[in-house]
Every structure is written in C-alpha cells, then in structure tokens.
A and B are shown apart, each in its own frame.
Chain A
Amino acid sequence: MARSLYNTDLYREKLESVSADVLRNVRINKGFLVWMGILTISLAACLYAYTIQLQKGLGVTGLRDATSWGMYIATFVFFVATSLIGMLISSVLGLSGTKWIKPITRIAEIIAVAFAAVAGLVIISDMGRPDRFPYLFLYGRIQSPILWDVTVVTTYLFVSLMLWFIPLIPDLAISKSRLEGRPGFLIKIYEILSVKWVNHDRQFQIMHQAMRILLILIVPLAFAIHTVTSWLFAVTPRAGWDSTIFGPYFISGAFVSGTAAVIIAMYFFRENYKLQKYLTDFHFEKIGRVLALVSIIYIYFNINEFIVPGYKLKTHEAIHLKELFTGHYAWLFWGVQLAGLVIPVALLLIKRMRKPLPLLLISIVVFAASWFKRYLIVVPVQGHPYLPIQNVPVEWMVYKPTIIETSVTMASMILVLMIITILSKLFPVVPIWEIAEEEATVNEEIEHK
C-alpha cells in the first residue's frame, strides 16, 4: 500500500466521517458524571471495608492458617488472565494480518491496561502489612516467582499502555481540532499527548516501526506474565497445584475470560456509543468464533489437567479430586465446567448464537464462570495441607470469605470499571485513522476494478 494514501482526498473524506461518528462520544456529559459518581460512591464504601482490614489485620478476612490464599489471589489470577487478551488480539491476530480486528484492538488494549493495572493492587490488598510492600524491591529474592511476577506484571502493564497509546497518537492529532465544546484540560491533554503528529509519511513510518517492536515484545511478555502467575502455584508440591501443564493451562484459560470481556465491552460500546457501523454483526460473528476456539483449547487442557492425576489417583491428589468431583466443591466445579465452558462451546457452534445479543449473554456467563474457575484453582487445594493441624477451630481449616473481603474484592472490580470508563470516554474507543485507512483502501481497490 502506498504511503501517499494518507494524503489522498478519499482518506481525508473518510477521516471526516469516521471521526464525526467516534468523537460524538468523547465528552463529559451527564451520563458520564452520574456513572462515575455511582462508581466513586461504591468505591468509597468498599474502601471503608479496606480501612477496617488495615486497622485490624487480615483476621477480618476468611484467611487462616490452612487457606492463606483466598478470594484476593483468585481475583488477582483472574485479572492477570483477562488482561492477556490485549496480546491475543493485537499481536497474535494482528501480526498474522487479520483485518477485522482493527476496530476492536483499542478495546482489547483498554481491557489489558485496566485489568493489569488493578491486578497489582489486588496483591497489596492480600498483604497483612501493606506498608512493607517496598520490601519486595529492597529485599526481594530473585529466585522467587513472586518477584518475577511483580517484574513481568509491571512490564506488561507498561507495554500494554504503550500499545494503547501509540496507535492513539494520530487519533489525538485528528481529534484535537474537532473537540469544540469539550473542557479545556481535555484539549490540552490531547495537544500534549499527540506529540506534534502532523500525519506525515515519515511519522507513520516511525509509528509502524515502534508498533512492530511492541507487538513482538508483548508476545513473550504476555506468555511470561501468565506462566509466572501459574508458577506461583505450580512450583509448590501441593496436590492440585503440582502440575507441569499449569503454564499453558493458565494461558489458554486466560484467552477465554479475556475474549468474553472484550465481547461484553464491544456490545456495550456498540449500543451506547452507537457504533453499529464499525462494530458490526460481522465482527461479533468473528470474535464469537475466537471465543469458541479458545474455549475448546481450554477444555482440552482441562481434560489433561484432571484425567492424568485422576487416572493415577495418588493419595493426596485423590483427596483433592474427590473434593472437586463429588465433594464440597462439586456443584461449583461442574457448574463452571459445564455452564462456563462446555455448553457455551456447544452454543457458539451455532451461527445464530454468534449474533451480538446471544453472544453477549454467553460471554457474561463465561466471564463470571472464569472468576469461579480461578477460585476453584486457588482455594480447594489448601483445604488439605500435608501437615494437618489439630485441636483448632473449624474456621481455621475451612475457608469462607467474609463480607469485608468481598467488599475489598468489589473495590478492585470497581477500579477496573473506572479505568475502562475513563479511557473509553475521554479518548476515541475505536481507532479513527485505521478505520479510515481501511475504508479508503477498500474503496480504492473497488475503483481499480
């Protein structure tokens, strides 16, 4: 494709129409303020719960000697998992030349940034002495997967932020002159962040180079962050965590929850921002197929993860598996596996189910099930420690999340929503220049014929 495309009238024309549609939503209106208000109030309520935890310690949660990782860590794993979608959409599909992902790459990156950013905070909520967080950097042991996790999660967050930002630069430049009526500070931010972009071919060239570096860098990084998160569990000798396939098991599961999150966001933006022209049924059809594919891969890893120890039934594995299959966690386990994976896949194979609304409903179930799946990975294993303790109260042995704990977990989810809201309301949620480019190219090709 000739670079000079960016100077054609056709491209400018397209730019005009696309930016009009997209920028209509970039403003601070009543809806935005009310929504942020609700989020802020709920966040304040949940943070109050956290202040209680800060004063009284982790004793106000359900965490005790036996189960010391509960809801918080399950949520952490879930957040890290969901954030991987940025890599799948932008890199894996993007680098392989898939065209239909263009309008949703930014949504995927927003989700990656929001979930990765809060994942780190969730870890702090699990600390009894958060004031000692800096010790991790002062006295951290490089041998510990926990330090690797901190390293890769922060790096991934930063790179995802750049993956969101760099393709945004041309949009910022395009938009800044079209933002009459918006608050001055917003226009000022656009001015600064657009780093003197003037739509010059040389600038496009540099941007494409930068993007290529990032898109390649993000692949090993994303694999690293979720593999290392899985190692937090897999490097221990506990039955149920002591598995060699935990890395790919976690990554394949991550794509499931991430794809579901993107679909939910796509539907929301399509309806609320009136973007039906850009997020079409065709896009839903395609991403529905992606969800089916990644779910099937995850089912494959699930079969592997349970059949192999289930066939051998080593003493401790047997206790753990029995608890999942027929014991205390059986309802949750089979609910998650069937309603969260098997049934969605069966439905997604039907074309009609890949229309926006049915796909949204399926994704909501899949997304919720993904959280419970993480809970099932983290919690039940700890109910059967190798060194049993005696003569202790039941609460020390059996984990039950408390209201305070649940509220603090809610706080992290609210924070994610706030970040998504800010990034999607104050900045164009679909890439203007890329869509214009795409439409112009298609038009040109038609004219040539």
Chain B
Amino acid sequence: MRSIILILTFLHLVFQSIQGQEWKVPDDKKGRLSTFAFDDNTRMAGQKLYTLNCMSCHGTPGKSNYLNLVPAPGDPATEKIQRNNDGEIFYKISVGRGQMPSFRSVLTSDEVWNIISYLRSFNKLYRQQVKSVISSTAYPGSTINMFIEHISSDTSIVVTAYAEKESSRVPVTEAGIKLYVHRTFGHQVVDEEKVTDKSGRAVFRIPEKMHGDSDGNILVSARFSDEDVFGTSSKDTVLAAGIKTIPVSLVAERAMWNNVRKAPIWILLTYCLGVIVALSFIVLVMVKIRDIYIVGKYLENKASEN
C-alpha cells in the first residue's frame, strides 16, 4: 500500500513538473522582430498557414477547442500565448518542444511572421515593433546578395553570397546557408546546411530523385541560417535542375475507381453477359406463357366450332 502511495506521489510530481515547466527562450532570441509591418495581407497569408499547419492541434483561435494534449497546446487568442513577445513566439514555433513540432524547416521566417501577424490580430492591446533596418552585423552598411546557379555536370547547385557597399563587392565567408525547394506542401530541404568558402560559395548536392515540373524546373530558395548575423536576405531562383515530371492523372487509365466509360473491360463484359443471360431466360419463360395462352385459345376455338 505504502509503495503504491509513493509511486502515485512520484507520478504526480513528474506530471506536475512536465505541465508546469516554463518554456524558456534564450535571451538573445527574445528580442527578434519582424522586418515588415503586419497588415491585412500578412494576416490573411498567416491565417492560411495557420489553418494548414496549426489548427489541427491549436483549434480555432478564440474557441478554446485545442486538442487535449499534455501539456495543452493552448488557444492562441488567450493570455497563455499572447503574453509572449514576438521573439519568443517566433522561437517557440521555430524550435518546438515535446508535442509541439519544430517548424524551422517547414516554414520560412517570413511565413512564421505572417502567422504571428494572424495570431496578434486576436490581441487588441498589441502594438507591433518593427526592426527598421535589414542589416547584417557581420558586414555593417553592406547589402548582402545571393546568386544561385545549377552546375549540371556534377549535379550540384552553387550559392554565392557577396556583400556590396557602394561599388565594392566582397564575398561573404563562413556563413551557414540552407537551400530549399518550394513544394505544394511546404519546403523540401536540399542537402544539409553548407558554409560558404573563401570565395563566398556554398555547394549543395542535388538528391537523386529531384522531381521538377513538366520542363524539369524547380523553384529554389537560399537563406542564411543565422539571420541575426547575416540578415534576412534570401534569393528565389528557378533552375532546370529537376527531373521532368508529367503527373499522370489517377483517372487516366481504366480502373475500378474510374467512371463507367473507363471501367475495366472484364467487369463490363461480365456484367453485361450476366444481364443478357438472365434476361434471355426470362424472355424464354414469357414466350412459354404465351404458348400456354395460344394452346388454350386454339382449344377454345375448336370447342366452339364443334
């Protein structure tokens, strides 16, 4: 009995500690701000993303119909989430914890900010602070640009980053870069994070089955992984680096699930044959009934003649 009580107390403590644990965000991440101002467009874009990625657990904001998980996801319209500052929410969405997934490689930072813009629309007291300058601490005063090219001979994609200030141009070195391909559902990460070399180049290997559109084109984006240091500049480029893919419609061929004109031949034949055989027997029987009538009529006539 005593041991049961002990176990129960222990479980209770464990449970409490999981539930009550504060979700600490590192100090240097707390101050992060969006580089653009939230408006109706960002809010609407955010709502779409929220419905796709978050609603299944967090429910509709304001309705408190989130999933019954431990710890609870919480309703984003409530104090529990709104008391976080922008940097904290950004961090929590990006990193995740326990059942809350990490969205770092699923959403770009702009997309996360769009979601935050949507979440903040439920908070009347919220006043947005915007980070005014897009600058990098490593190359102060410069504009950082990226250039993406596809080297078909060794199936790789090369990203070159350089910092421009007035007319001078220097390569951005030792910067971590991530490369994504835009897909219908989220982003596909290409290779791993790469660090730029002395000439500002990072080389990504294209995986074997990289599907492109019908011309083999893919839309790729490059980003710095440490945007605090190198800024949020990014580059979207269409490259002919994928396999030409012409999607085959599931209803293109004859199949069980297709419409009747594309039904498998064997089933059309079997069905029609069955119906014809049954019908012909039925017709045969009807003819027999007619025969009975004809015989009767004949006998009747004969009788009346006599």
A158 touching B292 by the CB < 8 A rule?
A: no
Per-residue 0/1 for A75-87: is the Cβ within 8 Å of any B Cβ (1 yes, 0 no)?
Answer: 0000000000000
B256 touching A155 by the CB < 8 A rule?
A: no
Contacts of A143 in B (CB 8 A): 256-258, 260, 263-264, 267
**Cβ < 8 Å to B, chain A residues 198-216:** 198, 200, 202-203, 206-207, 209-210, 213-214
B293 touching A196 by the CB < 8 A rule?
A: yes
In the complex, whether A36 has a CB less than 8 A from a CB of chain B is no
A206 touching B292 by the CB < 8 A rule?
A: yes
In the complex, whether B291 has a CB less than 8 A from a CB of chain A is yes
A217 to chain B: closest residue by CB:
B281
Identify B295's interface contact among A148, A162, A206, A391, CB under 8 A.
Answer: A206
B264 to chain A: closest residue by CB:
A143
A155 to chain B: closest residue by CB:
B278
What is the predominant secondary structure among interface residues of chain A facing chain B?
A: helix
In the complex, whether B271 has a CB less than 8 A from a CB of chain A is yes
Contacts of B292 in A (CB 8 A): 169, 195-197, 203, 206-207
Contacts of B256 in A (CB 8 A): 143
Alpha-carbon distance between A169 and B295 when the two chains are bound, in angstroms:
14
Alpha-carbon distance between A148 and B256 when the two chains are bound, in angstroms:
14
In the complex, whether A166 has a CB less than 8 A from a CB of chain B is yes
In the complex, whether A387 has a CB less than 8 A from a CB of chain B is no
Q: Nearest-CB distance from A390 to chain B (Å)?
A: 7
In the complex, whether B169 has a CB less than 8 A from a CB of chain A is no
A391 touching B268 by the CB < 8 A rule?
A: no
A196 touching B296 by the CB < 8 A rule?
A: yes
A200 touching B299 by the CB < 8 A rule?
A: yes
In the complex, whether A140 has a CB less than 8 A from a CB of chain B is yes
Contacts of B275 in A (CB 8 A): 151
In the complex, whether B300 has a CB less than 8 A from a CB of chain A is yes
In the complex, whether A221 has a CB less than 8 A from a CB of chain B is yes
**Cβ < 8 Å to A, chain B residues 48-71:** 59, 65, 67
Contacts of A195 in B (CB 8 A): 289, 292-293, 296
In the complex, whether B44 has a CB less than 8 A from a CB of chain A is no
Alpha-carbon distance between A217 and B283 when the two chains are bound, in angstroms:
12
Selected A-B contacts with CB under 8 Å, 23 pairs = A141-B260, A142-B260, A142-B263, A151-B275, A155-B278, A155-B282, A162-B282, A195-B292, A196-B292, A196-B293, A196-B299, A196-B300, A197-B296, A198-B295, A198-B296, A200-B299, A202-B295, A207-B292, A210-B285, A213-B284, A214-B285, A390-B67, A391-B59
Q: Which residues of B contact A (CB under 8 A)?
A: 59, 65, 67, 256-260, 263-264, 267-268, 271, 274-275, 278, 281-282, 284-285, 288-289, 291-293, 295-297, 299-300
Smallest CB-CB A-B distances: 7 pairs: A196-B296, A210-B288, A195-B293, A217-B281, A141-B260, A210-B285, A142-B271
